[in-house]
Structure 1
């Protein structure tokens, strides 16, 4: 069984909260994780190679070597002040597209078999940075999620995206309150000091620890660089760490080389900060096609999407200052609870939530 995440020789499995108890779900290329049936043998994923270009990355001190087995020993409270981003050297400027001419990125580019990557040109974007989908072939030859929500790659040798949990009922009720978790995934962290005057991440981690819950955290590499102590705490608390790129761009609009650089620097900073070589990633905005999938797969990453979202990033009062009424988001949760209780659910769920919005809610 091939795990998504590795800490030395440890096998870490995705976790979901179920009725207040921790429940583990192993999602592998052979499991029915993203659709009602797994990929056919005629289109079995081609083998991945170990990311040898990360072998010389030495983790920072202070990391745990195993997930906590005793919930009473899960760290809580403020983050350590001894872990500073100044210890991380040689990284590109945070929150900007990384250059592609560095020796590290060039080594990865040379390691990729480009004959196994579709020759698809990068997408064009509007002035606001989002991709232009008008004029795209309606037959969707590239399995472009932004257009068709396609999650079964059409290019040979690529696994299906992970979109939902295969087991019906993989939801959580916390402290007898109506609080849905499904497979908890949070994007865009760790929240940096610039986004909060004090505390930053501990509110979310402490909340999850209080309710004995685990989550999958899709980290932006730049944010890990700015808040390494938060990433180390997440690992110590038993959460799964995944990549959300280095600077959060629309990935299908990037060149092959930039896609490599975005993934490389996010993988590197996660490993140097926590010791984890992650094997899972989520494209920003869900924007992915077979070209980007193929590059990510050769870099050891499985594409994780979601089957629903709560749109919390568009609520008023938090980061982004959205205009979506709270009743809309509440209605989504009520709908999910109803479908679970009335037996109409066909599978478990992966729900997309914004870590910055969660932090705002917990702080207020």
Structure 2
């Protein structure tokens, strides 16, 4: 997880929130991991000449320079002039249909590097409802069902993905991977390793920027291009996404949920592995101890934990605590499987 100085305060405020988990989805006891390949959403990502579910049939070789040129430059917010017209039209149609949250301003960066709303705006309540300020909506996947560990990893693929996926295959479990589109372009081999491990593919935007400081069109491009690179190279249309830094408000939710039909993933536990090795004197052992405190705590609600495959240290934390998860009886599931248990579905608090 890339960091600004606002992150620690945001995480502390989030951990203090007590909210119930997702509700209101159709058939919550059988949540599909991906969107229908023949749906209107899937059609947004079918390139000219391709068939639904069979992308890049005549495209360049995976991982080649020509393949990389299909996507915006890595680690940068995509130029909105390159956004496919179908995405822009879908955003306009969603706004016309109603529900767009008026009165949610963009954040700006203050002198300390914090993303802040204008003076007089309360981000903890509607119409803003910022997750960083401790506000959740009923549509957010925040708490896991009782006794369930919703297992996901942010920021992949990376060089550390190889060790993680080897461990996952060895232990015959499945995890969700909230992936950065730029990282898929930079680490195509590790992307294939995630698929081979049985990993569930989820969205973490193209360049991992703070969403609340972006325009609607930039958010559209950040989410859309990440979905595009996943679809192009797996044939799967993602259903889940996690906003970078948990930087989420009602304007961002509207675009993710009403344009792309995504389930928004937040978290209710934090391993703090993102701070290793240089921030706040965090160490592998401190993260391990932090996670063990959750493992030994209450199983109600379940654990929707923030973990990363950003580097080997993050992976070591998970590998170290995995046996604790098992020995303490946690039901380890990827995101759609966790949500499909449906034994703790209720209203969100905001």
Q: Is the 8 A contact 1:59 1:275 kept in 2?
A: yes
Deviation at 1:236, TM superposition (A): 2.2
Which structure: greater helix fraction?
A: 2
Relative contact order (alpha carbons < 8 A, sep ≥ 6): 1 or 2 greater?
2
| Structure 2 partner of 1:101 | 81
| Structure 2 partner of 1:59 | 55
Structure 1: which 5+ runs fail to align? 1-33, 42-47, 62-81, 153-158, 171-181
| Structure 2 partner of 1:307 | 268
Counterparts of 1:145-184 in structure 2, within 5 Å, are 145-147=131-133, 149-152=134-137, 160-166=139-145, 168-170=146-148, 182-184=149-151
Deviation at 1:274, TM superposition (A): 1.6
Instruction: Please point out which of 301, 304, 307 is paired with 1:353.
Output: 307
Instruction: Please point out which of 319, 322, 335 is paired with 2:293.
Output: 335
CA RMSD of aligned residues (A): 2.8
| Structure 2 partner of 1:252 | 212
Q: Is the 8 A contact 1:312 1:353 kept in 2?
A: yes
Residue 124 of structure 2 is aligned to residue 144 of structure 1: no
Counterparts of 1:2-13 in structure 2, within 5 Å, are none
Distance in 2 (alpha carbons) for counterparts of 1:186 and 1:292: 21
Distance in 2 (alpha carbons) for counterparts of 1:257 and 1:36: 29
Equivalent residue pairs, number: 271
Structure 2: which 5+ runs fail to align? 1-18, 27-38, 320-350
Deviation at 1:151, TM superposition (A): 1.5
Instruction: Please point out which of 208, 215, 219 is paired with 2:168.
Output: 208
Q: Is the 8 A contact 1:60 1:274 kept in 2?
A: no
Q: Is the 8 A contact 1:228 1:273 kept in 2?
A: no
Deviation at 1:102, TM superposition (A): 1.8
Q: Is the 8 A contact 1:281 1:302 kept in 2?
A: yes
Instruction: Please point out which of 46, 65, 70 is paired with 1:90.
Output: 70
Deviation at 1:213, TM superposition (A): 1.4
Change (3 A) 1:218 1:36: closer
SS at match of 2:115: coil
Change (3 A) 1:325 1:92: closer
Distance in 2 (alpha carbons) for counterparts of 1:146 and 1:99: 27
Deviation at 1:55, TM superposition (A): 2.3
TM-score normalised to structure 1 length:
0.67
